[in-house]
Each structure stands twice: as C-alpha cells, then as structure tokens.
Structure 1
Amino acid sequence: MGRKHIKSFASGLAHMFASSAQHYAWLAHKLGIPTVTINLIELRIEPAEFNTDRNRVLAEMCQRTLLRNTQKLTPPGSVSSAVLSAQFGIDDYSEDNHTASIGESIFSVILTDDQGKKWRVDHVEKRLLVQF
C-alpha cells in the first residue's frame, strides 16, 4: 500500500473513535471541557481528566488499528505522527427517559507521513449519545 492509503486510515480511525466515544462525551459534558486530544503514537490523552482506564481502552484500540494499518505501507512510507481530536457539542445537552445526548461533535484525525505531508479527515456526528 502506498501513501495515498493514509487518508483512508485516518477516516477509519475517526469513524471508529466516534462510534464508541460515549464515555468521552459524558466526561466532556460533566467536566465542561469540550475538546479532547489523543496522540495515537505516544498514547497521550489530554486534558488529563480524560486519561482514565475506560477511555484508554478506546484510545489503545485506535492505536493498535493505526499500527496494524501502517505496517501495510510500502517502505519507505510511514506515519510519523498521529493526532485524534474530538470537539464535543456539550452546549447542546439533552436528556429524556434515561437517554442523554449532546449536539454536533467533530472527530478529526491528522496523520503526518514521513515526508511531512498531513492527511486530515473530519467525521461529524449531528447528535452523540452520552453514557452516564
């Protein structure tokens, strides 16, 4: 696989994270912190309030998927940095019959290849369930 596949890696990661981000969303709402950033190479979750065992499980799943995908790149192609960020729509919180959700949330993945080219994908969820 060549570098052109890096964008599809980013797309898959953004979708994967968004599909399971309910606990991150709940924490974002509870703490009033709308943005989370994860360095997928170093597995660093910021802000620190989001660096919980439960949240690390999803971050580790994304990291393993990234590593598995990048191993398929034809040398010398590689990914030198990988950042996932989530911007949660916590200002649009709704709760009804034991179900809670937040507004539009944007999940961005930026992968940088060994030549410095950035590959960015944004995944948008109009409403996102929160797990409380």
Structure 2
Amino acid sequence: MLTRLMRHYEDHLLEQTDCDQYVHGLRQLRILMSGTSALPSPLREKWTRLTDGKRILERYGASKFSTAILTPLHDNLKVPDGSVGVALSGCDVRLATELEGEILVKSSGMLLGYHLDPGVTRAAFD
C-alpha cells in the first residue's frame, strides 16, 4: 500500500500544484505502517522527509499470528537497515536450519491450528 501511495505521488502529484495539499494530508497521519518485508532505505527515507520526520513502523506478521517483529515507534532501539525490527516480548523468533529463508515463530497469540485439517496443522506447526 505504501509503495502504491508513493508511486501515485511521484507519477501524478509531484509536478502538480496540489502537491502541497497531498503532503499536508500525509503529515496529518499519526502512524505509518508497512508490513512483512523491510522497506528499501531510499523509500523509507523519502517518506520520512515527506512526513516531516515521522518514522514508518515496519513489522513482520502472518496469517497465523498478527505481529512477531516490529520496529519501535521511538528510535531508542537501533534497528539495522534492511530489518523489520526486533521480536516482540513473548515471541520466540529464529531462522530455520532446514529451509533457507524460513522464519520460525512461537507466540501465545498464534492460532492453534487449521480448522478441521489436522494434516495441514501438523505440516505447518512443530
């Protein structure tokens, strides 16, 4: 969603006189959020400038749990560039050793299994 908004801004509003209204509207937003993958630094920096210094909250979640990793709203905790943040309290997050790129998450907020499908539940949960 954020990428589409930025593309619309760059393709349609950047050269128009109503660009100031668009930027003013952006600056009225209280929280900006992007999810599941880290934003490229140039895009994140551009939005930070457009919103007069507001930080975009980046998070990682999935259909099985809401959020496991989140950038802090206030930058008292330095998050590495290209990261979506740090594990939330109560979430155990680690990389799988068997399948490259797979993230394993354990959380009390996780669904217990797939409705009426124990085979799929066994395959997805360990």
Q: TM-score range by the shorter chain?
A: under 0.3
Which structure ranks higher in relative contact order (CA pairs < 8 Å, sequence separation ≥ 6)? 1
Higher share of residues assigned helix: 1
Report which of the two structures shows the higher radius of gyration computed on alpha carbons.
2
TM-score using structure 2 length = 0.25
Higher share of residues assigned strand: 1
